[in-house]
Structure 1
Amino acid sequence: MNIASKTGYSPRLADRMEGMKASEIRELLKLLDRPGIIAFAGGIPDPVLFPQDEVRRAYDAVLSDSAQAAAALQYSVSEGDPELRDWICGYMAERGVTCTRDNILITSGSQQGLEFLGKYLLSPADTALVAAPTYLGALQAFSANQPTYDLLGGPGTNRTAASYAAAATAAGGTAKFAYVVPDFANPSGETMDVAERRALLALATELDVPVIEDSPYVTLRYDGAHQSALQSLDGDDINQSRVIHCGSFSKVFTPGLRVGWVCAARPVIEKLTLIKQASDLSSSAMNQKVMLHLARTRYNQQVTEAIAHYRPKRDAMLDALRTHMPDGVTWTEPEGGLFVWVTLPDGMDCAALLSECVEKDDVAFVPGHAFFADGTGRNTLRLSFSLPPLADIRRGIAALAARIKVEMLKIA
């Protein structure tokens, strides 16, 4: 069969490719290069926080020592740098989780951890339990394994473990895990309270499935008290815990080094290490050495600086929303993280709104339907306050609100 086309050669694809789509967020990030655009789209760290001088010193320190340089430029163990894993154990201990380096796998960002967990846990037609909305990157990582999605209910839901199990069976598989971003969730900005966390663990126990705790934003808290990690609530023995914790240095230091981790029971880490070996053998040994230096020398300082930088931006966005948004529009008020979730009246289409805002107002955001496994939520959108300066946040929200008022009149 001739598979060539006018656009170029394309081989016959695996079935799993049918469900794989380009990230709307990654596509929207291309707008950042457009002059004058106020970008509320990408939930990416502000580059002014990147510790460039310290990164340079870390690379110089490694490369100036012949023994360190030889190790850093060589293949490394798949589990990751032992000293970095030990540092992560100390970090997890501060969050109430007692573990050893055998419970840690270093990944190329926490996104790779999600990809590996999808491969590890999902067979075609199995069910993944996810929030609505949920992190788009997780849906992308899981969808390659051709799962069915079922929605985790919020507070007051009447869904039972039996109903989830029955729905999974009807879909042709079994329920395999629950996935949550419990702190300052991407995209909603919401945080699960301790009662919600315990309820989720009880549901997972009844279904006998693991819980994937995706926790890249947890240190970026601007108000209120820190919540207990799900993993810390699941007993004292990490090797008996059903919680699989995914962490990352990207939101605190820099995403460019691509260093994340998975913390889980030792049997889970052993299986994920096999997947790591088949994927890329190991994460960059050099970047792990640099991240270890950063973590040891300035982690707490970096967190403090990030909080001081992002809190005024969060406040400016919330103030502008309260000042300019018309009646009928609601939004979350996050205690941390990088995101505010906005809900418009029923009948509005935020994808169409985005086109108008970009072309007429030089304002970009992410339409909310991308974060729903079932494609609903077309009247929702995600705003990130991480990149624009304060003046642009105020000006951009005012312009967005004015455009929303115009579009609301069309459906009145």
Structure 2
Amino acid sequence: MDWHSAFARRTERMKASEIRELLKLLARPEIISFAGGIPDPALFPTKAVRSAYDAVLSDPHLAGQALQYSVSEGYEPLRSWISSYMARRGVRCGVENIVITAGSQQGLDLLGKLLLSPGDTALVTAPTYLGALQAFNAYEPRYASFSTSGTPSPANDEGERVALAYVVPDSANPTGETMEEDARRNLLDLSAAHDAPLIEDAAYEALRFEGEPQRSCQSLDIESCGDIDRSRVVYCGTFSKTLSPGLRVGWICAARDLVQKVVLAKQAADLHCATLNQIVIHRVALEQYDAQVERIVGVYSKRRDATLNALSRHMPDGVAWTRPTGGMFVWVTLPPYLDGAELLSLSLREEGVAFVPGAAFFADGGTGNALRLNYSLQSEQAIDEGIRRLSGLVARELRGTGRCAAVA
């Protein structure tokens, strides 16, 4: 069987994730990895999760429910908790506006399946979340970009339908940047001008270290249109960055007309998310969600500070970086004559430091002279050491080009 001739055309756009490949390096103890967007397992609420599993499985009625087939919409008490969570963020909705997904990543795939036809335009930031590009690519869109100020590039110059806009407005992956309210309103206007849904990926919204929280795009849109069932915004939430990525529980909050279609797509994909995991997430969220978020924020904010301080101390002149107010990432821009992918190869071989080259986050392969650093997994001491090594390599490469830069 020649399997290459059997594959559908859409598979030509399915590429391996550079981040998934780099995660294999985590098993090598000599590597200081800034690569994956990996929560620190030391911060997982392990005792609460164990207690929840024990409580469910020791109760015959609950165990039967948890281990049985269930509805595609998701465990209703969890959907009710999420509805209350969304209300705290200015989004009035009911359980009928919520569907549970296998992390927000499955939500992106289902939305791509429902909204994108081959040749449609998807509006994204440049750079944008690599996983969103992977989810959308199978449905064969073209891409156009808009800036984080909400200002569009030419989006429809060939007459294609703009099928959706996608954004990570809070502590974005990969840049760490947060959009101001004016930019969010501009983006809503842009989506409305194309009569297109706006997918709001809120994976990092809870991980805010400082400043007042920004209103979600969905809450701003509902303020304008009056009701979630008239809103064009599709909110993708997740427990992966707050409670556990391994349990694979996320959600979509949107108008009922869309949620009903998502449910149909989910029925075809996997019937429903693991009911046992949903029940456990619900119990842990009821018990300690806010305290857990506060704990994570306290640790990650110190690691963010360690990253920024190390960059300031060690990186040579000519290198710039973002200064995130939350989340897990710093985006580093190198001089234009350095390439992130080439630097990674050298860094792994010579310095034992991993990161993600920036080109992976552009729909068109974009800017090569950038890289993404994750600070959530490493200790403050390891962060300083890793950035010291990486900065020394950058300085040597700059000297090698004959364009010397002073080391800060």
Verify same fold: TM over 0.5: yes
- For residues 78-98 of structure 1, give each alpha carbon's deviation from its aligned partner in whole angstroms, at most 9, with x where no partner exists: 000011000000100011000
* Correspondence for 2:370 among 377, 380, 388: 380
What are the residue-to-residue correspondences of 1:2-401 with 2, within 5 Å? 3=2, 12-155=6-149, 157=151, 159=153, 163-167=154-158, 169=159, 173-235=160-222, 236-401=226-391
Distance 2:152 2:354 in 1: 37
Question: CA-to-partner distance for each residue in 1:181-207, whole Å, 9 max, x for gaps?
Answer: 000000000000000000000111111
Structure 1 unaligned segments of length 5 or more: list them. 4-8
Inter-partner Cα distance in structure 2 for 1:248 and 1:156: 24
CA change 1:158–1:149 in 2 (3 A) is: closer
1:308 deviates by: 1.0
Are the equivalent residues in 2 in contact too, given 1:368–1:382 (CA < 8 A)? yes
Shift of the 47–101 alpha-carbon distance from structure 1 to 2, 3 Å rule, reads: same
Matched residue, 1:6: none
1:77 and 1:342, CA in 2 relative to 1: closer, same or farther beyond 3 A? same
Kept in 1: contact 2:152–2:190 (CA 8 A): no
Q: 1:64 offset after TM fit, Å?
A: 1.2
Please report how far the alpha carbon of residue 55 of structure 1 lies from its aligned counterpart in structure 2 after TM superposition.
0.7
In the TM superposition, residue 153 of structure 1 has moved relative to its aligned partner by: 2.8
Conserved? CA contact 2:121–2:155, under 8 Å: no
Q: Is the 8 A contact 2:101 2:250 kept in 1?
A: yes
Cα deviation code 1:346-375 (max 9, x no counterpart)? 121110100111111110000000000010
Q: Distance in 2 between matches of 1:306 and 1:158?
A: 35
Q: Give 3-state SS (helix, strand or coil) of 1:397's partner.
A: helix
- Structure 2 counterpart of 1:138, one-letter code: A
Could you tell me how far apart the structure 1 residues matched to 2:356 and 2:183 are? 27
Map Cα deviations across residues 211-244 of structure 1 (whole Å, 9 max, x no partner): 0000011111111110001000002300000000
The SS at the match of 2:184 is: helix
- The CA deviation string for residues 249-307 of structure 1, in whole angstroms up to 9 with x for no partner, is 00001101000000000000000100000000000000000000011001011001101
Question: Which residue identity is paired with 2:195?
Answer: D
- 3-state SS of paired residue (1:98): coil
1:165 CA displacement: 3.0
Is 1:165–1:207's contact at 8 Å kept on the other side of the alignment?
no
What RMSD over aligned residues (CA atoms) do the two structures have, in Å?
1.1
Name the count of aligned residue pairs: 399
What is the identity, as a one-letter code, of the residue corresponding to 2:304?
A: R
> TM-score normalized by structure 1?
0.95
In structure 1, the residue corresponding to 2:310 is in which secondary structure? Answer: helix
Deviations 1:3-52 (A, max 9, x none): 2xxxxx65511000000000000000001111211000011100001111
- Per-residue deviation at 1:131? 0.3
SS state of the match for residue 366, structure 2? coil
State whether residues 347 and 379 of structure 1, in contact with CA within 8 Å, keep that contact through their aligned partners in structure 2: yes
SS at match of 2:118: coil
Q: Post-superposition shift, 1:158?
A: 6.6
Cα offset, 1:53, TM superposition: 1.1
Task: Report the AA paired with residue 300 of structure 1.
Answer: D
Q: What letter matches 2:203 in structure 1? A: P
Residue number in structure 1 paired with 2:406? none
Contact 1:19 1:146 in 2 (8 A): yes
Shift of 1:380: 0.3
Displacement of 1:309 in angstroms is 1.1
Q: Which amino acid aligns with 1:202?
A: D
CA distance in 2, matches of 1:204, 1:118: 16
Q: Is the 8 A contact 1:89 1:101 kept in 2?
A: yes
**Structure 2 CA distance, aligned partners of 1:198 and 1:165?**
20
